[in-house]
Amino acid sequence: MRLGQWLGLIALVISLYILWQIRQVVLLLFAAVVLATVLNQVVRRIQRYRIKRGIAIAITMAILLALIVGFFAFIVPRIINQLEELVSVLPQVSVRIRTWLDWLQSIVPGAILEQFRVLENLPQQLQNWIAGLLGNFFVLLNNSLAAILSFLLFLVLTIMLLANPSRYRDIFILGFPSFYRQRINEILSESEESLVGWIQGTLIAMVVIGLVSFIGLSILGVPLPLVNATLAGLLEFIPNVGPTLSVIPPALLSLLDAPWKAGAVILLYIVIQQFESLVLVPLIMKQEVDLMPVFTILSVVVFASLFGFLGLFLAIPLLIVLQIWLKEVLVKDVMNKWQRRQNN
């Protein structure tokens, strides 16, 4: 390798090292870009009523802050109260599961029954997880300076990006060779369209799934329908993985009444997910993002392991953007053209 190539390789390694050291800031910037991209659609719709962009941005941010404040003022306290109630009844759930398994032991072969013994530990594990979650939440409230600063930085970045998105987009495009800049602009437009379509559709799906879950759980008489429905709606943000996890708490709670009710809850969630997959998503998604279930699960696990909670929250948007860039740049612009050159 020549000296220039070595210097370029060293510069690349140093750049990757620096990016890794500031990965949380980079993720925060990516989150701001995603939010600014979505809010920009709202701003454009407000501008249709001949309102200046600055005022439209102020209205949009005021609505966003009002939603956040309303959520933490009215919804979060109720969720916390029901989570505390859930922790208090989980020991009863554990006793009921143990009684149910003992009853099954008389009619089911032991080898098969052992496969269900894992259910005995689920209530205790869930209790520990919720207790830790509530403890961390209250610790976060008491020692929230870092969280507040991060949130303020996130809002400032979002507002700055929202104020003049085309300028920052042009700066990003200038980082590529001149012959490829038009292509990068096309890829950015595709990424924006896919992200906005997926996020808007997902938010609508979260609300619908939460409402339908609340109605269904209330009809079945499952305890704590609000917290379970809220959990189902929030976990809808993580496709495939989230809906599977959301069925565990209400199924365990339903065992307090009768084992058949747990089966009814599982059946209810299966019906809801089929409704979401076959009816709801095709109706609300403006542009379908083809996310393979295996890649979805792996992205959630990998990004959560590497970047923590922020990585878990941003796993699917990161996967969408990464998938588009790999398809457009690596496959279409490199591999396909390289294959044509080889054939010639």
**DSSP codes joined into one string, 140-154:** HHHT-HHHHHHHHHH
Region 103-108: what's the mean pLDDT? 60
Query: Is the predicted pLDDT of residue 253 greater than 90, yes or no?
Result: no
Per mean pLDDT, which range of 36-45, 96-105, 253-262 is the poorest? 96-105
Mean pLDDT of the chain: 78
Grade residue 311 by pLDDT with cuts at 50, 70 and 90: confident
The residue extents of the domains of the chain are 24-331
**Tokens (6 digits) for 173:** 């495009």
Q: What's the CA angle centered on 138, arms 132 and 143, to 5 degrees?
A: 115
Q: How confident is the model at residue 183 (pLDDT cuts 50, 70, 90)?
A: very high
Give the per-residue pLDDT at 185.
93
Average pLDDT in the 72-85 region?
70
Q: Which one has a higher pLDDT value, 263 or 344? A: 263
Q: What is the pLDDT of residues 214-228, one digit of tens each?
A: 999 899 888 778 878
Residue 59 predicted with pLDDT over 90 = yes
- In this prediction, residue 111 has a pLDDT band, given cuts at 50, 70 and 90, of very low
pLDDT tens sequence across 230-248: 888 888 887 767 777 788 7
Q: Is 287 left (phi over 0), alpha (psi -120 to 50) or beta?
A: beta
Residue given tokens 């979060």 in the structure block: 76
More confident residue, 17 or 82: 17
For residue 242, give both structure tokens: 């989230």
Residue 95: the pLDDT is 65
- Looking at the predicted structure, is the pLDDT value of residue 81 above 90? no
Written as six digits, the tokens of 322 are 């990464």
Q: What average pLDDT does this structure show over 131-139?
A: 54
Phi-psi map region of 224: left, alpha, beta (phi>0 left; psi -120 to 50 alpha): left
Better-predicted residue by pLDDT, 93 or 14: 14
At 142 the pLDDT is: 52
Phi, psi of 257 (to 5 degrees): -90, -55
Mean pLDDT of 261-281: 83
pLDDT band at 25 (very low <50, low <70, confident <90, very high): confident
Classify residue 166 by burial, with Cβ atoms within 10 Å: 0-12, 13-18, 19+: exposed
Which span out of 63-77, 89-103, 184-198, 248-262 was modeled with the highest average pLDDT?
184-198
Residue 306: the pLDDT is 84
**pLDDT for position 58:** 92
pTM for the whole thing?
0.74
- At residue 234, the pLDDT reads 84
Instruction: Give 184's pLDDT tier (boundaries 50, 70, 90).
Output: very high
Could you give the CA distance from residue 189 to residue 328 in angstroms, rounded to a whole number? 12
pLDDT of 114 higher than 80: no
Mean pLDDT of 196-218: 88
Q: What is the pLDDT of residue 332?
A: 87
